[in-house]
Structure 1
Amino acid sequence: MKISLLFLFVVAFQLSAVNSSAQDAVIGLKSTNITIGDLIREIEQQTDYLVVYSNREIDTEKEILLKEKTNKVSEYLKEAFANSDIGHDFENNYIVLLKKINRNASAIAEMIQTAQQEGKTVTGTVRDENGEPVIGAAIMLKGTDIGVVSDINGRYTINVPDRDAVMVFSYIGYLTEEIPVGDQREINVTFSEDLIGLEEVVVIGYGSIRTADVTSAVVSVKPESYTQGSVRDLGQLIQGKVAGLIINTTSGNPSGNSSIRLRGNTTLHGTSTNPLILIDGVPGDFNTVSPDDIESIDVLKDGSAAAIYGTRGTNGVIIITTKRANANIRNHVEYSHYIGTQAIRKKTDLLDADDYRRLISEGVIGTSHDYGGNTNWLDEISRTPFIQHHNLTIRGGNQETNYLLSLMYNNSEGIFKKSYRERLSARADVNHSMFDGVVQLNVGILSRNDNSSSFSNNIFRLVNQYHPTIPVKDEDGKWYEAGIFEVENPVSRIMEQDNSASSLFNRINGTITINPMKGLSLRGLMSFSKYHQHGGWYETQNHISTVRDGRKGAASVGATQNVERLINLTAEYKNNINDHNFTLLAGYSYEDYDGRNHSMYNTDFPTDIFGQHNIGLGQAIAKGSTFWDMNSYRGLTNLIGFFGRVNYNYKDRYLFMASLRHEGASQLWGTEDPWGTFPSISVGWRMKEESFLKDVSSINEMKLRAGYGVTGTQPNSSFLGVGTLGYSGAVYTNGEWIQTIVPTRNPNPYLRWEEKKEMNIGLDFAFLRSRLSGSIDYYNRVIDGLLYDYTVPVPPNLVNTTRANVGEMKNSGIEFLLRGVPVKTKDLEWNSDFNFSTNNNKLVTLSSDLYEPQNSYITTGDAQIPIYGPTHRLDIGGKIGNFWGYKVIDIDDEGKWIYEDPETGAPVPYDEFAKVDENKMIIGNGLPKYYLGWNNSIRYKNFDFAVSMRGAFGYDILNFARMYYENTKTHQQYNRLKSAYDPVFGKAVLNNDLDLEYNSYYIEKGDHWKIDNITLGYTFNTDKIKYLNRARIYASTLNTFVITKYKGIDPEVNASGLDPGNDSRDKYPTVRTFTFGINLSF
């Protein structure tokens, strides 16, 4: 008994000594203004004791103000919890924080026991190579499901049950780190950048996959590579960034859109060549969301990647992922703002009033063509526009429920007066997790309102044609109209016409994900979108058109409403058995579209007060005028698809993917089989994982890919398999007018999808610690069953054309991407990427056993009034884009053309040359053979500099401006280019007696290199500014400079459709944009 008492006394004394030692422990703090969580971390890091508490009782984010930077632990705890109901107890190696009302030996022992079962607590901070905290880094205990993520300051806390545990730190874009815990209680990690992103996740059809496992031609573009400054739509964000993805900006109109083409043209029948664009899994376009909301853009380029989208995947797929709510980013605010202006990049070099008067004095032009004025018409309709942009993003919530709210306002004035686009958009994204993550809900809401005003592109034609000696107004203050044929005062055209439109787009989508067991994920996505646009124009009673036609004002209004619904249901199962990793996906998709529009046109208004907003006030119908019209339309389409995919990976070395989609659509309703089946298969071999390369340190990745896939093209009309009837005028019989109905389309039950069969072979590589990486791809596309309208006899047919699948076209090319990091130090970093692509096109056939075209070619394009006629010809066996016309090789002393005979090559004088189709020949091609892009970003300390460049080579342009405004026979009251009086071929001025003509003299080389986007920024140090995480200012230019020999205003012209290379007179000139902006993060 005495021994027992003695033993208890010794133990109690030991415990007392330990507790006294803990209370007497002294720690030092960097600041006295910290949070309770900071204090707990410092105690655990500077002593051998763990702090035990309940999150429900202790607010670790509460800020406290301590008296001293160095003090005893016990004194700090007294200060921290003064005036609160929290007490503290020192027991063994633990400090227990507990409400005073609950403090008893049993409660303290229970908390210590729980802590012991959970193991020790390890804390730390995760940073990148620049010392910046990494938000949302994953910290896992290897071989377990135990894990946490780093907070907004890069900090983490994790309970480790075993000293032998290994902690795994990972984050997208960085190399994974593994660190044994041992006796460490603080583990800080600095990530190294994963320059080739093998562990990054790439979004593919209905899912995602590691970059290392990709077996198709898939390219991901991250925010750091986006074009900066004032971009009009999402297309400009990635312009010149993806090999084979051609995005052209051919207009400076603030309401205009970028044109998109991936790996060449794929159809003859006017259906869209734009890739399928998905925003968070829902079809959209480049204007659906604000550029500020984009997290990443993934481009599925080949058939094996796009086949799972069936008939919508022929032109490739662009998957846009927006910034989403995130449990790891809480109470975070971002604000971005820029202002800017624009200038016309290059102006047409026209004669001015002084030039005209000089020509009159020289007797070149008659004296009757001097109207006494001195007007620069382009200056009269132009202005220095103002652009402003604001975007606010707020994130918040907790681990279970979190949200993102985004608000954007943009107001962009155009170069032309009264042209503008004002946009206001709002977006909300909310996540909710239940039952420990078994059920996850997401709701996204998007609303966008646009208001815009612009004019038909022929306003630029009027500016170029109208005489510079004509004054804007006459002596009475009225618009001066010279009575020139088909040309009117451009200023009057703008000021006496109101042309405006407004639209509202709303979309709501919801996703539910259920994870009933390990590896199995069930997902349902539903989306509802509604787009409504109302627009119109009004010409006042003073407008020259209404004055000339005696209409007393004219108005047109129209409205469009589109409703789209989408349902996607998928089941995905992932598992790994030893070295075998596989993913199985099965799904169902349903889409329907309901489009409606109506338009009205009326004239003869008693007043201009109401403009287009009281169209019924016009008296055209009542007075029996023909200047009125009414139309309406409704179109319905449905699309149903069943799909599946399997991904397999053996030892991270041998990769396999296959998919299948079975799809039916209403466009082919009435045919024998409105369904199509679209398979794909692709394989990959990561040679780097083989023994002969695994230990080669200079090679970081070497992967060979090969794939084959089939996709389809949706026709642009519904119910194509059946014949249709339509209204066609009226006949007068028995004293009344009877509406007539006539056939408008022949039935064709054998109609089917256009099918694209594509093979792709690629190689991914990385060398020198991934400082040099890239890929090279070769593709070969065969488009089978091209739709074409064939001439057929009537009877037995109802109309003289029938649409059928008989054509075949081929596209092939090479794409090359090279990324490099030439310099990477603490203060200086230079990233550079270069891409190159080619495309070769060939029309193989246009005939079958049932259908034979009348000609072995197709003529397309329009030389416009008064020349008329086609500009291009597509021959069987030839390629898209061939200019077809008369070839001029010289000019004689009288200023007349000398042509080349297409058969003999001999020169033929103008007066002996027959202007017939047989004498036309191929005189150029409007499709570039090569596209290049070179993008660079440089960081020096707090400064950042980026420059994006791109170019197109090996193509020709038909310069419409020269073709019309260099001809001196043009109506003498029209203006013309100064070059109209320059000697042709250095010999003689073009003869005044020659008619306007489309020939090879106006075909020019379009090769060009654009310094597209230049940005200089500076990021401020914000360490000492509370609540401010980041502050950056920048200045940027867009469409900065062009190196070219092309004489037109911009060599970046239309490259889509069957008439690429036509640089029309009717255009909104391209502009150079200057912006200054700021980015703030709180």
Structure 2
Amino acid sequence: PATGQFFLQNTSEARANYLRAAEYRNTNWFKELFSNSIQHNHSVSITAGTEKAQYYASVSAMYDPGWYKKSDVERYTANFNANYKLSSKLSAGLIGNASYRKQTAPGTISSTTNPVTGEVSRAFDINPYSYALNTSRALDPNTFYTRNYAPFNVFHELENNYMDLNVVDFRMQASLSYKPINKVELTALGAIKYAATTQEHNVKDNSNQAEAYRAMGTTAIRDRNNYLYTNPDDIYALPVTVLPNGGIIDRRDNRMFGYDFRASASYNDVFNEDHILNLYGAMEVNNTERHYTWFRGWGMQYEMGEIPSWAYAVFKKSQEENSQYYEMTNTQERSAAFVGVATYSWKKRYSITGTYRYEGTNRMGKSRSARWLPTWNVSGAWNVHEESWFEKLSPALSNLTFKLSYSLTADRGPSFVTNSRVVIKAENPWRPSADVTESALYIDALANEDLTYEKKHEFNFGLEAGFLDNRINFSFDAYTRRNFDLIGIVSTEAVGGEQSKYGNVAKMKSSGIELSLSTVNIKTKDFTWSTDFIYSYMKNEVTELNTMNRMYEYLSGNGFSMVGYPRGSIFSIPFMGLSGEGLPTFLDQDGNISVSGINVQEYDPEKLKFLKYEGPSEPTNVGSLGNMFKYKRLSLNVFITYSFGNVVRLDPIFSNEYNDLTSMPKEFYNRWTVPGDEKRTTIPVIASKIQNKNDANLKKAYQAYNYSTERVAKGDFIRMKEISLGYEFPSNIIQALRVSNLSLKLQATNLFLLYADKKLNGQDPEFFNTGGVASPMPKQFTLTLKVGI
């Protein structure tokens, strides 16, 4: 604008200078988009009371400017607790807490899965982590480039395409206890809860997403831009914009209100100092009401006083697509339960406990046997250290307890599954012309009167032991479980119009062990060194499955997996090497070796046997190791976590097409480049235009490579989770400052990985990148000052 000329001259020299600058540019996107920030967390608590009344109140405020841009959070909380002794027999309690959270996040929309290739994508994705990981370092962070046929700069987009989230949470609980006699206590408890969440996605006027809806600068762009609208009633119509002015506001509101009530009675007695009996009975009812609304406003002019300016074409287009611009949903969940517990103990040596619970909920099937479910638990313990002869083992063996239990427990399953009765919804049927509309009712889900709880039989054995005056404490638990009536999607014969629906479709068995070891290694007057070690092992296997999954579910690790394998198993497409042109080849579902013959929608169990089982997506071995060192008033804690036994899918970085905005990871150094390279590398070629033209399904081949046996790594890791240093100030300083206590603590968390599979190439084994607002856990350094007055 200043000179009336183009920024770059159309000469060889100008083009060479421009490209040379890009060649030597090395933008560190992580440094540009991520930064160190200081998080503030302040809290004040007050305790007061008398013999007849005690009070506790606290307030706190937290502000986190965020690890990356547009990720700041503010949270304010308040808590109140009061207990009253109204008489020797009557007491009351009141507990209340409230919180408010205000948060900003990058603008994001739901991800979609390509049914042909299995590729998971998210339109207009501006997730800072994904952008930093996948964007070319040759780009200038201060320059606008072209994306979706419109100008794009990630910093500008984050400022003009973001979400505002507001969350309010409130709960109030009151209780009343009455003791008619010393051994009996009657209690009534009531609580109300309220939560409201508001999410506003602001797509401002000049954002790339808004500009994409009106990008039609040339005929080529007009014909290729899928966000434009072509009037089907006019055979001569050209694509036009449905957003000529302004941006888009997308708002979602969730509101929940509920109440809980429980009445209980307990009886506690001791007979002849040897027999202890505890009885407990209760009934409870719960009610939760949820209200959801969604609205999308087109043409919101953020820069013109926030006045909408919409085009009628957007409504015509929506009617023709049979899509809505607002929604409302109301749901209500009710439940009731009756509980009984009895415990008997003899001389504190032997004890046995029995629990019985009978509950029902409107989420389950209408059949009485499905909606109402009895569950129970029987457990016993032997405190060996209470035996008279145990003293002979002391102090080498300080205490010893054996525990045993067997139970039937249940879970209501996923919250969105509720088809106890036929679900009838309204819709506007699709019509070829927008001026012909009508409303209709349709069956969204057939009734499943026998839909029942997910159940589990569990047998447990455990022991607790202490050695050398409890300098060493050891606990061990072993369990075996039999899960049945697990809820999932079942394929039907579609007699009632449904090809698939949710039902009780699977059985599973699992077993595992859990152990912990705590030791005081050194203990002197001024120095103490203690160690805590935790280890758990778990394995499971699907034993029955009355449904069929697509190949994609097996590749991604979703669903129930296959019979005979763990839940959430990951399977891979067998990679068969590169072709003479550098293209990946695979063993496909028909037993052939092909380039693009993989069908991720295949669901025939026989044809899916060619997939290779890689391992479970969930770790089988997890635990931690902590060491605490104390010297006088100084303490040092070193805490390590570990996980083994699972596999992870490497990031899907391979595609049949790339553009100038895409980064090239280290794997591309070893890619196929000339004939003969297929003998030395498994990294496919960057496909040429001719190769894409010769094979219209080449995209399927590269997506299959992302899901192949070449793109799997072990999920094993050892992580330095925390190092903290604390100091308790001496009494003379505390007295001089006129405070009751004073301490300081410096804490560093999520520092680094001590071990991980080299094949991960820096990918975090605990993080699954889905775009949107997902990002790995950052390193955090926390300074805490506690003052008591």
Report what 1:397 is aligned to.
Answer: 49
Report what 1:531 is aligned to.
Answer: 195
- 1:1051 equivalenced with 2:764 (yes/no): yes
| Deviation per residue, 1:203-242 (Å, 9 max, x gap) | xxxxxxxxxxxxxxxxxxxxxxxxxxxxxxxxxxxxxxxx
Report what 1:380 is aligned to.
Answer: 32
Distance 1:538 1:450, change over 3 A: same
Alignment of 1:22-101 (within 5 A): none
Report what 2:615 is aligned to.
Answer: 924
1:1050–1:1070 Cα contact (<8 Å) kept: no
Report what 2:276 is aligned to.
Answer: 581
Distance 1:701 1:805, change over 3 A: same
| Deviation per residue, 1:505-545 (Å, 9 max, x gap) | 11111111212211211111111111112220211111111
Letter in 2 for 1:496: N
Q: Which of 287, 290, 294 is equivalent to 1:595?
A: 290
Alignment of 1:453-852 (within 5 A): 453-455=104-106, 456=108, 458-459=126-127, 460-474=129-143, 480-483=144-147, 488-550=152-214, 551=243, 552-578=246-272, 579-608=274-303, 617-620=308-311, 624=315, 626=317, 629-668=325-364, 670-673=366-369, 674-697=371-394, 698-715=396-413, 716-717=415-416, 720-730=419-429, 737-795=437-495, 797-847=496-546
Q: CA RMSD in A?
A: 3.2
What's the offset of the Cα at 1:761? Answer: 0.7
What's the offset of the Cα at 1:787? Answer: 2.0
What's the offset of the Cα at 1:919? Answer: 4.0
- 1:1080 equivalenced with 2:749 (yes/no): no
Distance 1:487 1:648, change over 3 A: farther
Report what 1:990 is aligned to.
Answer: 684
Alignment of 1:155-304 (within 5 A): none
Aligned equivalents of 1:526, 1:1072: Cα separation in 2: 42
2:365–2:451 Cα contact (<8 Å) kept: no
Aligned equivalents of 1:629, 1:488: Cα separation in 2: 27
Q: Which of 1017, 1020, 1040 is equivalent to 2:726?
A: 1017
Letter in 1 for 2:262: N
Distance 1:1031 1:881, change over 3 A: same
Aligned equivalents of 2:361, 2:210: Cα separation in 1: 46
- 1:1068 equivalenced with 2:753 (yes/no): no
Distance 1:675 1:499, change over 3 A: same
Aligned equivalents of 1:901, 1:534: Cα separation in 2: 47
Counterpart of 1:874 in 2: which secondary structure? coil
Distance 1:742 1:909, change over 3 A: closer
Distance 1:1063 1:558, change over 3 A: closer
Distance 1:532 1:803, change over 3 A: closer
What's the offset of the Cα at 1:646? Answer: 0.5
Aligned equivalents of 2:550, 2:386: Cα separation in 1: 52
1:509–1:526 Cα contact (<8 Å) kept: yes
The percentage of aligned residue pairs carrying the same residue is: 17
Letter in 2 for 1:679: W
Aligned equivalents of 1:859, 1:558: Cα separation in 2: 34
Aligned equivalents of 1:669, 1:972: Cα separation in 2: 55
2:148–2:212 Cα contact (<8 Å) kept: no
Report what 2:321 is aligned to.
Answer: none
Counterpart of 1:409 in 2: which secondary structure? strand
Q: Which of 630, 633, 645 is equivalent to 1:942?
A: 633
Q: Which segments of 5 or more consecutive residues in structure 1 lack a partner in the other structure?
A: 1-359, 475-479, 848-852, 864-868, 1055-1061
| Deviation per residue, 1:952-991 (Å, 9 max, x gap) | 012211111xx316x6853354222133213689934532
Counterpart of 1:635 in 2: which secondary structure? strand
Query: Comparing both chains, which one has the higher relative contact order based on Cα–Cα distances under 8 Å and sequence gaps of 6 or more?
Result: 1
1:553–1:608 Cα contact (<8 Å) kept: no
Letter in 2 for 1:500: D
Aligned equivalents of 2:449, 2:470: Cα separation in 1: 56
Letter in 2 for 1:393: S
1:786–1:806 Cα contact (<8 Å) kept: yes
Aligned equivalents of 2:480, 2:551: Cα separation in 1: 26
2:201–2:249 Cα contact (<8 Å) kept: yes
Aligned equivalents of 1:486, 1:899: Cα separation in 2: 38
Q: Which of 1013, 1038, 1047 is equivalent to 2:749?
A: 1038
| Deviation per residue, 1:272-313 (Å, 9 max, x gap) | xxxxxxxxxxxxxxxxxxxxxxxxxxxxxxxxxxxxxxxxxx
Letter in 2 for 1:946: N
Letter in 2 for 1:596: H
| Deviation per residue, 1:65-122 (Å, 9 max, x gap) | xxxxxxxxxxxxxxxxxxxxxxxxxxxxxxxxxxxxxxxxxxxxxxxxxxxxxxxxxx
Distance 1:918 1:712, change over 3 A: closer
2:262–2:284 Cα contact (<8 Å) kept: yes
What's the offset of the Cα at 1:482? Answer: 2.3
Letter in 2 for 1:1030: N
| Deviation per residue, 1:991-1016 (Å, 9 max, x gap) | 22373422121111121111111110
Aligned equivalents of 1:520, 1:871: Cα separation in 2: 51
State which structure, 1 or 2, has the greater radius of gyration over its C-alpha atoms.
Answer: 1
Aligned equivalents of 1:641, 1:593: Cα separation in 2: 15
What's the offset of the Cα at 1:465? Answer: 3.2
- 1:419 equivalenced with 2:119 (yes/no): no
Letter in 2 for 1:982: N
Letter in 2 for 1:781: R
Letter in 2 for 1:424: Y
What's the offset of the Cα at 1:914? Answer: 6.9
What's the offset of the Cα at 1:700? Answer: 1.5
Report what 1:172 is aligned to.
Answer: none
Aligned equivalents of 1:970, 1:538: Cα separation in 2: 30
Letter in 2 for 1:470: L
Distance 1:558 1:609, change over 3 A: farther
1:959–1:1064 Cα contact (<8 Å) kept: no
Task: Answer with 372-381 or 751-760: which moved more.
Answer: 372-381
Counterpart of 1:493 in 2: which secondary structure? helix
TM-score, scaled to structure 1: 0.59
What's the offset of the Cα at 1:1063? Answer: 4.9
| Deviation per residue, 1:859-899 (Å, 9 max, x gap) | 56497xxxxx8788711121123222223376678655576
1:380–1:491 Cα contact (<8 Å) kept: no
Report what 2:569 is aligned to.
Answer: 882
Aligned equivalents of 2:156, 2:779: Cα separation in 1: 27
Aligned equivalents of 2:26, 2:364: Cα separation in 1: 60
Counterpart of 1:693 in 2: which secondary structure? helix
1:597–1:634 Cα contact (<8 Å) kept: yes
| Deviation per residue, 1:658-715 (Å, 9 max, x gap) | 0000101011252343111001100111222234423311212111111011111214
Distance 1:871 1:623, change over 3 A: closer
Letter in 1 for 2:375: F
1:835–1:934 Cα contact (<8 Å) kept: yes
